[in-house]
Amino acid sequence: MKLHKTFILLILAMAVLPATVAAGRRPAANAQTSAAGTERIEEAILALKEMSELTKAEQKLPKALLNKARGMAIFPGVIKAAYGIGGQYGRGILMVKNEKGEWSNPAFASLIGGSIGWQIGVQKVDIILLFKTAKSIENLSKGKITMGADVSVVAGPVGRHAEADTDLEMEAEIYSYSKSKGLFAGVSLKGASIQIDRDANSAFYGPGDVAASDILEGKKTAALPVLDELRKALAAYASDKI
């Protein structure tokens, strides 16, 4: 068992270390930090587009649920590693939808956590989370939430029935969808936590410390083409035009 744990810790340390180092020393060049944030948003757009290309039988996010959701998180390229016990780490973006159906600017966040089960392998997956209400995201904007403890999370429905049912109700607080880029047996998000990446938010929207709530409420903005591209991708997905 010690060997198994060492395997997990080694894989996850390789993923987390670059982010930890970056958090400890914020770069002075605004151009570099903005570029890093732009790249993360571009990866989220690509993950959304790739998700739209899945068949009905696969883990495709139904547009009916996307249209009902009040919040969304996209974590592209989440590293998952397991040998009896599992762990995962990824960086992505978080958005909320207002009463008019308009998506906010993205706040940066991280997905960190582990799971216990019959699991073996290492892989990268794109994970998309849909939030039923804005309350969970408001709580998250204050720091972090743990799925399965602070909020309920279930694998989202897929297939023709889910897509065709325009009256589909979100019974859980969070619905999760994933697209695998490797081999893995057993996937779970229970016990994983989502936490705000304050350094990334300040670097992208700064100067100074930038609260996630200010971003999601539209108090902090950035005039960058990538933000328009993100909203266009979401609108296209919701209308089946991707």
Look at the block and give the residue holding tokens 């304050």.
198
| Measured distance CA(189)–CA(204) in Å, rounded | 28
Q: Does this model's pTM top 0.85? A: no
Would the CA dihedral through 210, 216, 222, 228 be positive or negative? positive
What is the percent of the chain with per-residue pLDDT over 90, rounded to a whole number?
25
Residues in Cβ contact with 175 at an 8 Å cutoff, skipping those fewer than 6 apart: 65, 69, 129, 130, 132, 153, 154, 155, 156, 157
Runs of H (alpha helix) within 25-60: 30-52
Please state the φ and ψ torsions of residue 142, each to the nearest 5 degrees.
-85, -10
Look at the block and give the residue holding tokens 């209400």.
133
- Convert the pLDDT of each residue in 60-87 to its tens digit: 778 888 888 899 999 998 877 665 555 6
Look at 212 and 31; give whichever has higher pLDDT.
212
Residue 130 belongs to what H/E stretch?
strand 107-131
CA distance readout (Å), 97 to 27, 103, 104, 110, 138: 31, 4, 6, 20, 12
Which structure tokens are listed for 56?
A: 């009905």
Number of domains in the chain: 1
Q: What is the pLDDT of residue 96?
A: 93
Cβ(119)–Cβ(185) under 8 Å?
yes
| Measured distance CA(164)–CA(186) in Å, rounded | 28
What residue numbers bound the domain in which 187 lies?
Answer: 2-238
Which structure tokens are listed for 162?
A: 């889910």
What is the percent of the chain with per-residue pLDDT over 70, rounded to a whole number?
67
- Convert the pLDDT of each residue in 97-144 to its tens digit: 988 889 999 999 998 876 545 455 667 788 889 998 877 787 787 778
